[in-house]
Amino acid sequence: MSKKQHFVMPTHKNDANKKVAYTNARLFDAESGLDAKGSLLTIGDSIADFGERLFSDGVPEGIEVIDCRGNILSPGLLDIQVHFREPGQEYKETIATGSKSAASGGVTTVACMPNTKPVIDDISVVAFIHKRARETAYVNVRTYAAISKHMKGEEITEMGLLVEAGAVGFTDDGLPVMNAGVMRKALAYSRELGVPIAQHAEDLNLSCGGCMNEGKISAQLGVAGIPNAAEAVMVERDIILAELTGGQYHVLHISTAEAIDAVRRAKKKGLRVTCEAAPHHFTLTDEAVLEYRTFSKMNPPLRAEKDRMAVIEGLKDGTIDAIATDHAPHDQESKRVPLSSAAFGIVGLETMLPLSLSLYHQKIMPLRDVMAAMTYKPADIIHVNSGRLKKGARADLTIIDLDTQWSIDPKQFMSKSLNSPFDNWPVKGRAVRTIVGGDTVFKWE
């Protein structure tokens, strides 16, 4: 009998006395280095206890038991760059469908990007996101707000009020902040507010409407390309501004060797600079466009092999802090068009974990480092208390079957959209249960 995905919508009314024992687990916490057989107990929405000797004499009556079957029991995964399209483009994705996609991928917390319609640049829109999340989300939904009003890059938003309303940081993702004065002011505010300024690093004067990486493949296809310099120049500029202001600067979906080197130098200087990489940038190159066409079109684009290897090296040495998907759902009409006209972006929440685990299975990175990039490190970037196994922490957990082999099938995605170049891609490892606030919201059985 084939296994199926099962979902349970959280009630957000957690029974404070509910006790659940997770037994026969491989307890795994990337920050502390814990990797041991044992059990974990949740009471209500919190982790009450865990360890190798817990329940060594059996689980007392009255406690629900979930047998982890030797699988990894980890802090829930975080994806700090997703586009849920609500409000304004619900035909592509909603908070409900996007969060269901997250749960299926073992992700318990997401951070939404603000390029919705209307833009998340006002406390009323932040309040709407939070309300819809409470009503419809399967996972914890946090949100960035826009750096500039209406994402026009001209005037910064009311950052203090937006942070009070719950924004975890600021970005005009989808568009870069081209005006250095606006970016300087935003970074100065970030220092005072204690939140990151996240940049889609692209100098529009250099990218000039390109639709893929500038190189031999773009020349072969006869389309305009985006040079590495478009990303690197913007990152170099912003790092100078981060040093000037003392602000917290974060590079979204970094993709080029030159930009990664710039971040590496900034870290060595002790600057508050972090970055993230998407799985497609350490898995594919621009040659994928020849096979997958518009389903391989994203921004920043898939780069050359030297850049793919630079992303991997950045993950290995810690220059790249986090793995985030840039989950960008699009309807078929936005993709089934010529390459130059197609929308940028692919879906990624349900493929993040298995694609990232390939770095472990191929003996490129230790499992601890791979999991760190999806748990406590992204949590630290947006300053949320998550991503760690510790007593008293919120019980957001993921059970991972590390060794199951399967093939990615976008037709089985929970997302409304299917735009992925990983159709029929063989992978190893998957989330088999996702727990949010002590409640199972997804299981594979």
Same domain (yes/no): 159, 281: yes
Angle between helices 257-268 and 228-245 in degrees, nearest 10: 20
- Alpha carbons within 13 angstroms on the beta-carbon side of residue 289 total 32
Residue 22 token pair: 């997770």
Same domain, 369 and 334: yes
For residues 83 and 287, give the distance between their C-alpha atoms in angstroms, rounded to a whole number. 26
> Residue 386: inside a domain, yes or no?
no
What CA–CA distance (Å, rounded) separates 144 from 213?
A: 28
Same domain for 178 and 226: yes
Residue 309, in any domain of the structure: yes
Instruction: Specify the pLDDT at position 1.
Output: 38
For residue 94, tell me if it sits in a domain.
Answer: yes
Task: Tell me which amino acid residue 57 is.
Answer: D
Which pLDDT score is estimated for 16? 82
- Give me the CATH number covering residue 427: 2.30.40.10
Q: Are residues 214 and 151 in the same domain?
A: yes
CA–CA distance, 237 with 240 (Å, rounded to integer): 5
* CA distances (Å), origin 73, targets 36, 41, 48, 299, 396: 10, 12, 15, 34, 11
Task: Say what the pLDDT of residue 352 is.
Answer: 98
Is 90 among the domain residues? Answer: yes
**Residue 127: which CATH number?**
3.20.20.140
| pTM greater than 0.85 (yes/no) | yes
> Do 283 and 357 sit in the same domain of this protein?
yes
Q: Are residues 337 and 410 in the same domain?
A: no
Active site members: 326
Q: Which of 334, 360, 381 is the last residue of a domain?
A: 381
Closest CA to 319 of 366, 400, 373, 241: 373
**How many domains, the chain?**
2
Q: What is the mean pLDDT of each run of 10 residues along the chain (445 residues)?
A: 77 79 98 98 97 93 96 98 97 98 98 98 98 97 98 98 98 96 98 98 96 97 97 98 98 98 98 98 97 95 98 98 98 93 96 98 98 98 97 97 97 96 97 97 93
Q: What is the pLDDT of residue 12?
A: 61
Residues 232, 183 share a domain: yes
Query: What is the extent of the structural domain holding 430?
Result: 5-74+393-444
The confidence score (pLDDT) of residue 156 equals 98
Assess whether 336 and 210 both reside in one domain.
Answer: yes
Are 200 and 346 contained in the same domain? yes
H-run or E-run covering 36: strand 34-43
Look at residues 381, 405, 431 and tell me which one is the last residue of a structural domain.
Answer: 381
Q: HEC string of 292-312?
A: HHHHHCCCCCCCCHHHHHHHH
What pLDDT, on a 0 to 100 scale, did the predictor assign at position 9?
82
Alpha carbon separation from 62 to 39, 65, 133 (Å, rounded): 16, 9, 32
Residues 370 and 421 in one domain: no
Q: Are strands 64-67 and 397-407 parallel, antiparallel or unpaired?
A: unpaired
94 and 201 in a single domain? The answer is yes
Query: Of 327, 348, 381, at which residue does a domain stop?
Result: 381
Quote the pLDDT of residue 10: 76
Query: 410 and 352 in one domain?
Result: no
